[in-house]
Amino acid sequence: MANSPQTAAKDVSPAPVVRFAPSPTGFLHIGGARTALFNWLYAKANDGQFLLRIEDTDRKRNNPEAVAAIYDGLKWLGLDWDGDAVSQYARADRHVEIAEALLANGNAYRCCLTTDELNAMRKQAEAEKRTFKIRSPWRDKGLDETRKDQPFSVRLKAPQDGETIVHDEVQGDITFANQDLDDFIILRSDATPTYHLAVVVDDHDMGITHVIRGVDHLNNAARQNLIYAALDWDIPTYAHVPLIHGADGAKLSKRHGALGVESYRADGFLPEALRNYLVRLGWSHGDDEIMSTQQLISWFGLDGIGKSPARFDTQKLEDLNAHYIRESTNEDLLEHIRAVLPEIEDGNTLADKLTKNDGWAKLEMALPGLKPRAKTVLAVLDGARFITDQRPLVLEPKAAKLLDDDAKGHLAQLKTRLETASDWQAATLEAIVRSYGEEADIKLGKIAQPLRAALTGRTVSPPVFDVLAALGKTESLARLADQTV
């Protein structure tokens, strides 16, 4: 692979601290996995820290199984985080403390607006054909005696004129008119924090220096900057990355294959292939397509992230996965096969069969012939089913057609030759088959194809001499006998 002249821009400032902060309402989806990968790479590329925070303040939507799936997905992708994962919910007292500090310094206020009052304000804005912005009557007055026992929320007292500028490493400077920003709630009437307050407080307390996340959070950055300013805290460096779209250009959804990371694992994709593919969705390094993890760490920089949405293409992912399968060692590929077996329908049955009669050893022997034709681990397993199939084999229709009387006659004679083989290796077996073909004056294909059908029940398999070697002498001869007697 040729090295590109482009190199990542390394930070010369103190080592960055970044975070991945998913909500545990679903599994680790593909967009979240890419966000985590970008953060992880940026930390690794600049000798920084990659932290994990679970934003679990919404207890109604919080799903412990989803939390476990997030951990599992990140570990499978090889994205190790520093320290313990932080629970946002566990920091609720700290969020309330900061809300009270904002009340004390005059940058927030208690608001008793009811749902009915808000609905009336919204309807009036619609009737006047103007954008609805909350302008609370409680902004400039305290709660009197008649209201002090009423439920109240806490709103940030946002500036009503001027501009808020979000400086972004990917999108550039984005300007928001303050008159368009509401006095948004930072603490609900039940004393639970809203997203904006919790994120700012947690990022500050965790020492986050760079916030790398999807561009759909860009508007959130404007509101969060107001909280930073009200607290006189340093604002982190933002990098809002483009969204991922489907091949048709529409926002990525389940119909495009936007499943959880665990689904890609179950479908037989390798973590290194998915990492390589995800990093190329929105980031580039010259013309390089296939990059090792060390190259990614060496080259990754925010300057390589583009503004345009990336398009998810399952076919390209499969092609990339095929490359990594071909390049994988037998040992690594066997580990991936062991990991995927529990994920598939008959995986436990296959695992049992592979533990018998040296099945794993036979599979390892067959891998060199299986790798070149497989795009997924499942395809490797499918191609290897000749090892675990039980006699007598159920022949595919096309395979059965190959075994006519003439072919069976040749196989019977070939079986006699193979019985004398003392060295059951692919090269030796190939020499025996070729010698028989020359003597019988038939082309190799005319004997190899029926031989493959008799040994595997299929018309497609690894090289037939590798199949013979993998099955072993006893099983190979028994399968030939099944088709020639």
Going residue by residue through the chain, which has 485 residues, state the pLDDT in tens, using 9 for 90 and above.
Answer: 334 334 444 444 689 999 999 998 878 999 999 999 999 999 999 999 999 999 998 877 778 888 999 999 999 999 999 999 999 999 999 999 999 999 999 999 999 988 888 888 888 888 888 888 888 888 887 766 556 668 899 999 999 999 999 999 999 999 999 988 999 999 999 999 999 999 999 999 999 999 999 999 999 999 999 999 999 999 999 999 999 988 777 777 666 555 789 999 999 999 999 999 999 999 999 889 999 999 999 999 999 999 999 999 999 999 999 999 999 999 999 999 999 999 898 889 999 999 988 999 999 999 999 999 999 999 999 999 999 999 999 999 999 999 999 999 999 999 999 999 989 999 999 999 999 999 999 999 999 999 999 999 999 999 999 999 999 999 999 999 999 86
- Using alpha carbons only, what angle is made at residue 81 by residues 79 and 82, rounded to the nearest 5 degrees? 150
- In sequence order, what are the beta bridge partners of 163? 177
Pairing of strands 185-187, 210-214: unpaired
Cβ 50 vs Cβ 19: under 8 Å: yes
| Residue boundaries of the structural domains of the chain | 91-241, 330-384, 397-484
Closest CA to 414 of 386, 455, 383, 385: 455
Please give the structure tokens belonging to residue 360: 């794993």
Task: Give CA separation, 190 vs 92, 119, 186, 303, in Å.
Answer: 12, 20, 12, 43
CA distance 462 to 366: 7
Dihedral, 118, 121, 122, 125 alpha carbons, nearest 10: -160
CATH number (3.60.20.10, 3.30.160.270, 3.40.50.620, 1.20.1250.20) of 91-241 reads 3.40.50.620
pTM over 0.85: yes
Output the pLDDT for position 322. Answer: 98
What is the phi/psi pair of residue 307, to 5°? -95, -25
CA distance 217 to 46: 24
Output the pLDDT for position 256. Answer: 56
Please write down the long-range contacts of 199-204, taking CB distance under 8 Å and 24 or more positions apart.
Answer: 199/21, 199/55, 199/224, 200/224, 200/227, 200/228, 200/231, 200/233, 201/91, 201/94, 201/95, 201/98, 202/21, 202/53, 202/86, 202/88, 202/91, 203/19, 203/236, 204/228, 204/231, 204/233
Catalytic residue among 133, 251, 254, 307: 254
Cβ 225 vs Cβ 218: under 8 Å: no
CA distance 363 to 356: 12
Residues 6+ apart with CB under 8 A from 359: 353, 387, 388
CA distance 36 to 44: 12
Number of H-type helices and E-type strands within the chain: 21, 12
Output the pLDDT for position 2. Answer: 38
Output the pLDDT for position 7. Answer: 43
CA distance 210 to 368: 45
Class of domain 397-484: mainly alpha
CA distance 104 to 136: 19
Pairing of strands 153-156, 108-111: antiparallel
Tell me the one-letter amino acid at 162: G
Annotation says 123 is catalytic: no
Cβ neighbours of 110 (radius 10 Å) = 19
Closest CA to 62 of 85, 87, 99: 87
